[in-house]
Amino acid sequence: MRPSQIKDQAVIIGIGETRYVRGTGRSELLQILEASIAACRDAGIRPSEIDGVIAPGLPILRVEDYAAGLNIRNLSFSGRVEMGGASATAALGHAARAVATGQAKYVLVATGWNGYSSMRLGQCGDELLDLITTIFPNPSLRRNLEHPYGLLVPMQYYSLHANRWIYEYSLEKEAVQAMATLAITERKHAQNNENALMKGRTLTEEDYYASPMISEPLRLLDCCLETDGAAAVIVTDAETAKSSKHRPVYIVAAEEGHPASPDDIISRPDILEMGITRAAPRAFEAAGLGPEDIDFAEIYDCFTFIVLRQLEEMGFCKRGEAPIFVHERGIGLDGDLPVNTHGGLLSQAHVLGMNHIVEAVLQLRGEAGTNQVSGARIGLVTGYGDLGDGSIAILRN
């Protein structure tokens, strides 16, 4: 397949985030509007200038609600992306193509949810089933062949993947050690982030191994946080971005991918195949770059092990070698590939991956504070969601 060519035609000119919290009385929409307004202010545009809107991540989010809330009068491009956690980064690609073709001038990509106050994936009960059948594809398959046996939440599906990976590459010890390293590294990064839930709460290896097993091999501290909040970005064309007050952050490539079959992980011929397996080679080809060119990576981290798997599928190392990569190359701020420099979904907040895009922009503007990767020129963002969908964006300054 020929990768889509948007290279350097689109720029992220605005970013916005709410405070990330556990416990809010505010609706998803209100928080999304707040983040969107912040992104407009950062971009130096009025909300009414937005003419493209994408609502990624959750079926409850509707473009019309965004447009009405922001008083957008001239909407010429809209879309919803339903790839779970892969949606935000996939939406960035749609936004880039829309501005590159002139379909819209300013595209808002905004999402958020009350992952703590209402849509808790860690709860136990009938409400959880309603939530899962809302967010996952093919509810009739879920209700028939999976729920009666107790296969219910995303982490249980993903554990089927993790255990097969561990088996095929004999990673019984190595995988868990690398998962612990990742959790600890992201927690360290969160200590320097004012808007990270886990700022002020350090994490040791002892804490990691003492945390309860939830879905073998995943412990509580392998799981993302449940939080409330929203984040947004504004994408425009490279020409318009020239008048921006910020250092431009170009979208070099943005691709999505879906494994076969995207609605079913159980009978997938190779359970290690993910959407990013297909998307990453396209993105690197379109960018004319390779993994060795990437200065930092904000990798979707709903669970620790899936970060390791994405590193492998993107070609940073071979399958089964992510644990070696993590320990020998390093994923901290002083490592070869700093990963999730904001603390990620594990230690900053779960904003469906929009916070990963915001952090990548901060890094490429040189505004990432204490966690700034020195000399960062090229960054990578990924998304992972539903039953293995994937997305990848390569950004540069």
d(CA 301, CA 33): 25
* Interaction between residue 341 and another protein (CB under 8 A): no
CA 73 to chain centre: 30
Give the end-to-end CA distance of the chain in Å, rounded to a whole number: 27
Whose tokens are 């779960």? That residue is: 350
How far is Cα 86 from Cα 352, in angstroms, rounded to an integer? 8
Nearer to another protein, 60 or 145 (CB): 145
Of 101 and 123, the one with the shorter C-beta distance to another protein is: 123
Report, in Å, the least distance between residue 209 CB and another protein: 15
Q: What CA–CA distance (Å, rounded) separates 232 from 47?
A: 12
- Report if residue 292 touches another protein, rule: CB under 8 A: no
For residues 274, 280, 281 and 283, what is the CA-based torsion angle, rounded to 10 degrees?
Answer: 150
User: Site for another protein (CB under 8 A): which residue of 23, 150, 200, 375?
Assistant: 150
Q: Which of 17, 28, 34, 146 binds another protein (CB under 8 A)?
A: 146
Q: Which stretch binds another protein (CB under 8 A): 34-42, 138-146, 249-257, 304-312?
A: 138-146
Q: Does 170 bind another protein (CB under 8 A)?
A: no
Measured between alpha carbons, how far is residue 337 from residues 135, 326, 327, 330 in Å? 32, 9, 11, 6
Give the residue, chosen from 31, 114, 159, 348, that forms a contact with another protein under the rule CB under 8 A. Answer: 159
Question: What one-character-per-residue DSSP string does 219-279 give?
Answer: EGGGBPP--EEEEEEEEEETTGGGG-SSPPEEEEEEEEE-PSSTT-SSS-SSTT--HHHHH
Rounded Cα–Cα distance for residues 251 and 8 (Å): 6
Does 319 bind another protein (CB under 8 A)? Our answer is no
Q: Decide: helix, strand or coil at residue 108.
A: strand
For residue 112, CA distances in Å to 56, 147, 358, 369 come to 9, 27, 13, 24
**Does 173 contact another protein by CB under 8 A?**
no
For residue 152, state whether it binds another protein (rule: CB under 8 A). yes
Q: State the minimum distance, in angstroms, from the CB of residue 109 to another protein.
A: 31
Which one of residues 143, 173, 247, 319 is an interface residue with another protein (CB under 8 A)? 143
Beta strand ranges found along 72-119 (DSSP E): 77-81, 107-114
The SS3 of residue 198 is coil
CB of 120 to another protein, least distance (A): 10
The yes or no reply on residue 134 touching another protein (CB under 8 A) is no
Interface pick for another protein out of 2, 23, 149, 200 (rule CB under 8 A): 149
Which of 249, 271 has the CB closer to another protein?
Answer: 271
**Interacting positions 9-38 with another protein (CB under 8 A):** none
Q: Does 68 bind another protein (CB under 8 A)?
A: no
Footprint of another protein on 246-265 (CB under 8 A):
261, 264
A 10 A CB-CB count for 120 gives 15
Considering beta carbons, is residue 84 or 217 the nearer one to another protein? Answer: 217
> Which of 48, 74, 103, 123 lies at the binding interface for another protein (CB under 8 A)?
123
Instruction: Choose between 99 and 218: whose C-beta lies nearer to another protein.
Output: 218
Q: Which is nearer to another protein, 126 or 206 (CB)?
A: 126
CA distance readout (Å), 230 to 24, 134, 138: 12, 20, 27
- Is position 133 an interface residue for another protein (rule: CB under 8 A)? no
Binding mask of the shown chain, residues 207 to 226, with x at each position contacting another protein by CB under 8 A = -----xxxxx----------
Smallest gap from residue 28 Cβ to another protein (A): 22
User: How far apart are alpha carbons 186 and 298 in whole angstroms?
Assistant: 11
**Count of positions on this chain that bind another protein (CB under 8 A):** 38
Shortest Cβ 157–another protein spacing (Å): 8
Contact 395, 360 (CB under 8 A): yes
The residues that touch another protein, with contacts defined as CB under 8 A, are 122-126, 128-129, 140-141, 143-153, 156, 159-161, 163-164, 167, 212-216, 261, 264, 266-267, 269, 271
